[in-house]
Chain A
């Protein structure tokens, strides 16, 4: 893999243009959203952890709603055009299957996926590829030269999307 690699932490976002890759590791119930404008080769990768900001938390990228909105704003500021933007999403797993009883944890991965899709739909951005759910973690990267996203998991072939 040529060029430099940017690493996105948990509740974080990075964007880049033309070359190199952006990667985020081991998405569990979290979701990675790769947004890309092929015309100007501008891409962003967001790593959200929760569906919705319900307080005044300054860490906006932790949440699907505030994190995606801020990412859209940044992308447009860098010249992205909404109709050209596409989204690829991965993550939203349920790492532990809690048997019986009511769990305070719920299925946060599924709620994350629903919110991410809703926010993207409201903005009018197409989701072209998706690899969400199941019970395993995913490492996700986007190649800024062409928008190709790679999803790496344990014990399964790498997914190119």
Chain B
């Protein structure tokens, strides 16, 4: 039975996406660790399917500032990947890559933005490539784009993208921890519904 809405997914399907997220984030953490030259670990990914306002509330206040790197996926998995960074995580990256410390988001200059965008690109590419290898998929990626702005505004992008087919947002959320500190960076995989069905079929969990 094909999934028509995100909330139609059963426990087995959700497990599959948690596992996919786990493989992706694991690979991305390794890549980030190489870029930064420090230990990067990951938390067990979560799969959330929530209404718009709840999805935002789960990550903070809609007006909270974040830096977000977005990559659009095509081919076998259509949708977007978002890498969302809060201030302390941004500083951990900037300290190691450009030797800078910022006190607030207005201080992110072009050089810093470019460093964050490139880090995001590496993380997202490693994440997606781990999944495509696993399932033998073709997933071309767009050039990354960065936006430093309010959390709610950033999340309105995937919401609008899937808005005609869903009132909910499905996110496969992975979290990184840099070094021994609790610096959290969120990596979100937001596939469209057609791609969910394709993946479940491809991985042999569609018909049960």
Number of interface residues of A (CB under 8 A): 36
CB distance from A141 to the nearest CB of B (A): 12
Given A9-B52, A49-B156, A104-B72: A97 and B145 within 8 A (CB)?
A: yes
The reply to whether B152 and A103 form a contact with Cβ atoms under 8 Å apart is no
Given A10-B52, A49-B160: A96 and B145 within 8 A (CB)?
A: yes
The reply to whether A136 and B159 form a contact with Cβ atoms under 8 Å apart is no
Does A137 touch B at the CB level, under 8 Å?
yes
Q: How far is the CA of A83 from the CA of B183 in the complex (A)?
A: 55
Q: How far is the CA of A95 from the CA of B149 in the complex (A)?
A: 8
The reply to whether A29 and B157 form a contact with Cβ atoms under 8 Å apart is yes
CB distance from A139 to the nearest CB of B (A): 6
Residues of A within 8 A of B78 (CB): 104
CB distance from B117 to the nearest CB of A (A): 11
Contact for A95 among B56, B63, B142, B157, CB less than 8 A: B157
Q: How far is the CA of A54 from the CA of B163 in the complex (A)?
A: 11
Does B164 touch A at the CB level, under 8 Å?
yes
Given A11-B52, A135-B147: A62 and B163 within 8 A (CB)?
A: yes
Does B31 touch A at the CB level, under 8 Å?
no
Residues of A within 8 A of B56 (CB): 10, 26
Q: How far is the CA of A27 from the CA of B61 in the complex (A)?
A: 13
The reply to whether B163 and A136 form a contact with Cβ atoms under 8 Å apart is no
Residues of B within 8 A of A96 (CB): 70, 145-147, 157
The reply to whether B154 and A28 form a contact with Cβ atoms under 8 Å apart is yes
- Counted as pairs of residues, one from A and one from B, with CB atoms less than 8 Å apart, the total is 115
Q: Which residue of A lies closest to B157 (CB)?
A: A95
Q: How far is the CA of A55 from the CA of B63 in the complex (A)?
A: 31
Does A99 touch B at the CB level, under 8 Å?
yes
The reply to whether B156 and A25 form a contact with Cβ atoms under 8 Å apart is no
The reply to whether B167 and A105 form a contact with Cβ atoms under 8 Å apart is no
Does B106 touch A at the CB level, under 8 Å?
yes
Instruction: Please indicate which of the listed interface residues A26, A98, A101, A138 has the most CB atoms of chain B within 10 Å of its own CB.
Output: A26
Q: How far is the CA of A26 from the CA of B155 in the complex (A)?
A: 10
Residues of B within 8 A of A108 (CB): 160-161
The reply to whether A98 and B160 form a contact with Cβ atoms under 8 Å apart is no
Given A50-B160, A99-B145, A100-B143: A28 and B72 within 8 A (CB)?
A: no
A residues bordering B, Cβ < 8 Å? 9-11, 25-30, 49-50, 54-55, 57, 59, 62, 93, 95-101, 103-105, 108, 135-139, 152, 154-155
B residues bordering A, Cβ < 8 Å? 52-53, 56, 61-63, 65, 70, 72, 74, 78, 80, 105-106, 142-143, 145-147, 149-157, 159-161, 163-164, 167
> With A95-B157, A135-B149 given, can you name 16 additional A-B contacts, CB distance below 8 Å?
A10-B159, A11-B167, A25-B61, A26-B152, A27-B156, A28-B153, A30-B160, A49-B163, A101-B142, A101-B143, A103-B142, A152-B63, A154-B65, A154-B105, A155-B105, A155-B106
